[in-house]
Amino acid sequence: MTQPTATPEARRRPTDAAADDVTSLGRADSRAVRRRSLRLLGDLLRHHKPALAWAALLVVASTLGQVAGPWLVAVAIDRAVPAFADGSVTPLVLTGAGYLVAAVLGGVAAGAYVRAAARIAQAVLLDLRRRVFRQTQRLSLEFHESYTSGRIISRQTSDLEALRELLDGGLTGVVSSLLLMVFTFVSLALLDWRSGVVLAVAFVPAWLLTRWFQRMSQRYYREQRTASARLIVKFVETMTGMRAVQAFRREPTTEAEYRALGEDYRDANLQIFGVNGRFQPGLILIGNLTVVAALGVGGWRVLEGTLAVGVLAAVLLYCKRFFQPVQQLGMFYNAFQSATAALEKVSGLLAEEPTVVEPTNPVPLPQGSARGELRLEHVVFRYGDGPVVLPGLDLTIPAGQTVAVVGTTGAGKSTVAKLVTRFYDATEGAVRLDGIDVRDLASADLRRAVVMVTQEAYLFSGSVRENIALGRPGATQDEIEAAARAVGAHEFVLDMPDGYDTDVNKRGGRVSAGQRQLLSFARAFLADPAVLVLDEATSSLDMPGERLVQRGLQTLLADRTAIIIAHRLSTVAIADRVLVMEHGRVVEDGAPADLIAGDGRYAQLHAAWQDSLV
């Protein structure tokens, strides 16, 4: 038996996952990626403009409340105390009441801001989480075969966490800081324009330092996001494959690999802390030196007699105050860099276009539901730019026919299944259901009409009931039990601790592979589609189980179209028609009895299979 010249499933398209890991991008790329992520951020915040304005207002109110305190103290000391001494109570009462009002208003505004910011942050996060989740479901299988699940998980977890930090804490600082800085600078410039110039000059090194920080931290945050994604991918993979890791004593190797990735992540974090750790004291140094400069220049002018001492005192105070919020700005900028680096990754995932596209003007099925006639017209298929798997297949399956497809691994059987179920689209030619190109059918219609059961019977955590009900949400308990009975799963389910309410645990831990296949069969029974595709769906069943499923199948398939792909010819026995495939072509096609009577490939296969039986 010859092996296929190339294994289609192993071919991959040049993947975006690779681009995903690049940290030092070219200038143009870097800008494009950044623009894409900022666009996403803008888009996410667009719906929250009123809330954002409200939050900004609360910040301003809380800042004013903060500033009002010292000012009122000054007023009290300068005016109210002398007035009180003179017997006038009003100014003191007024300032006291003013202080009280400012305290309460400012405090309430500060608290309200925390809540408002959290509301915005959580709404944005929910929105983004849904977008990523929907996108993950929308993308074609082709994409999932190259973009590891760990990466998607890291997009959904640690990347979104970075955004959350920006939205939660970052905004508080930036509004009040900018406000204070502008206010301080204007006051200073009005008070003494020469000192204003000194402060403006200090801007130059501060700006240069910020540029340096921006450049470095952008790169390091990218590295950090990539390192964190790699760490997550490795972790998810190791935990998912823990049985194999332990059985083959790979713990030391995986530990070493994980350690190396952990060290990369640690180094990325160190670099970020390092950049931050120089940026922040750098700004403080510039601020302090500005005060020194202002003191030197101003003091000289005072001694020359061209500047009043009172003015200098105020100038120095303003200079000192001007640089205080800069630190908060730095922190905001930090959170911002981290979030945009994360958003770069997330927006990259969101920008992926599925290769299997939902039609813009879907064609409805006549009579609302499918009859189940399938036609493959000159179908050519290749995975990405890999070798041709199906060189040109013409096939018609009338509604209600049960077709078995046999052939060696890699002959293209599974590819036919994936095309009929539209997991992939044909490279050339068309696949038609009841005469309608499957590419023109709404996904909901297609999925209702065509259902596939694969060898890999995945169970989700949750109860047995929920897992079967996946076939048809909203099914009644009776319907679920009937489906389970039909495939012979009912009894073992009843034997489980809580029957249908038994939790199947992580990845169906306590259910054997055969039982898992029975449950996924029950799912398909419940879904009740017009076309059922079984791709090696009975491989792990034992003989009695298989016999039962076959019995069930005979009833089930009586009035619907079915494509059965199986290595076990026992499953093939119930078929009306057998196709033997080789190298992507149908080499034999006929009723099972006719083919067995001949001397072709199927007759040989059948003889070999008969020999293997008892």
Q: Please list every residue from 431 through 460 that binds other proteins, using CB under 8 A.
A: 443-444, 446-448, 451-460
Interface with other proteins, residue 304, by CB under 8 A? yes
Please, are residues 383 and 8 in contact by the beta-carbon 8 Å criterion? Answer: yes
Helices and strands: H and E segment counts in the chain: 23, 10
397 with 373: CB under 8 angstroms? yes
- C-beta closer to other proteins: residue 28 or 385: 385
273 near other proteins, rule: CB under 8 A: yes
- Side-chain-side CA neighbours of residue 332 (13 Å): 15
What number of CA atoms fall less than 13 Å from residue 137's CA on the CB side? 6
Nearer to other proteins, 196 or 330 (CB): 330
510 near other proteins, rule: CB under 8 A? yes
Q: What is the pairing mode between strands 388-397 and 374-382?
A: antiparallel
> b/e map of 528-564 (b: 16 or more CB within 10 Å)?
bbbbbbbbbbbbbbeeebbebbbebbeebbeebbbbb
Q: Which ranges in 241-250 belong to alpha helices (H)?
A: 242-247
Q: What are the two backbone dihedrals, phi and then psi, of residue 162, each rounded to the nearest 5 degrees?
A: -60, -40
Task: Work out whether 108 is an interface residue with other proteins (CB under 8 A).
Answer: yes
CA 553 to the chain's CA centroid: 38
Question: In the range 461-480, which residues lie near other proteins by CB under 8 A?
Answer: 461-462, 466-467, 470-471, 473
CA distance 307 to 309: 6
Span interacting with other proteins, options 38-46, 284-292, 396-404, 592-600, rule CB under 8 A: 284-292
Among 54, 71, 99, 183, the residue binding other proteins under the rule CB under 8 A is 99
369 belongs to the binding site for other proteins (CB under 8 A) = no
Candidates 43-51, 134-142, 194-202, 338-346 — which segment interacts with other proteins by CB under 8 A? 134-142
Site residues for other proteins, 489-508, by CB under 8 A, read 490-492, 495, 497, 503, 505-507
Q: Burial, 383: exposed, middle or buried (Cβ in 10 Å; 0-12, 13-18, 19+)?
A: buried
Residues 77-96, one symbol each (x = binds other proteins by CB under 8 A, - = not), give x--xx--xx------xx-xx
**Residue 561 touching other proteins (CB under 8 A):** no
47 in contact with other proteins (CB under 8 A):
no
Segment contacting other proteins by CB under 8 A, of 185-193, 210-218, 428-436, 532-540: 532-540
Q: Which of these ranges, 31-39, 40-48, 114-122, 430-438, lies near other proteins under the rule CB under 8 A?
A: 114-122
Could you tell me the smallest distance in angstroms from the CB atom of residue 607 to other proteins?
Answer: 10
Q: Site mask, other proteins, residues 569-598, x = CB under 8 A?
A: xx----------------------------
Does the protein bind other proteins through residue 423 (CB under 8 A)?
yes
Find the farthest-apart pair of alpha carbons in the chain and give their distance in angstroms, rounded. Answer: 124
User: Which residues pair with residue 402 across a beta bridge?
Assistant: 562
- The single residue among 43, 237, 576, 589 that binds other proteins, judged by CB under 8 A, is 237
Query: Amino acid letter at 371?
Result: R
- Shortest reach from residue 103's CB to other proteins, in Å: 3
Does 355 bind other proteins (CB under 8 A)? Our answer is no
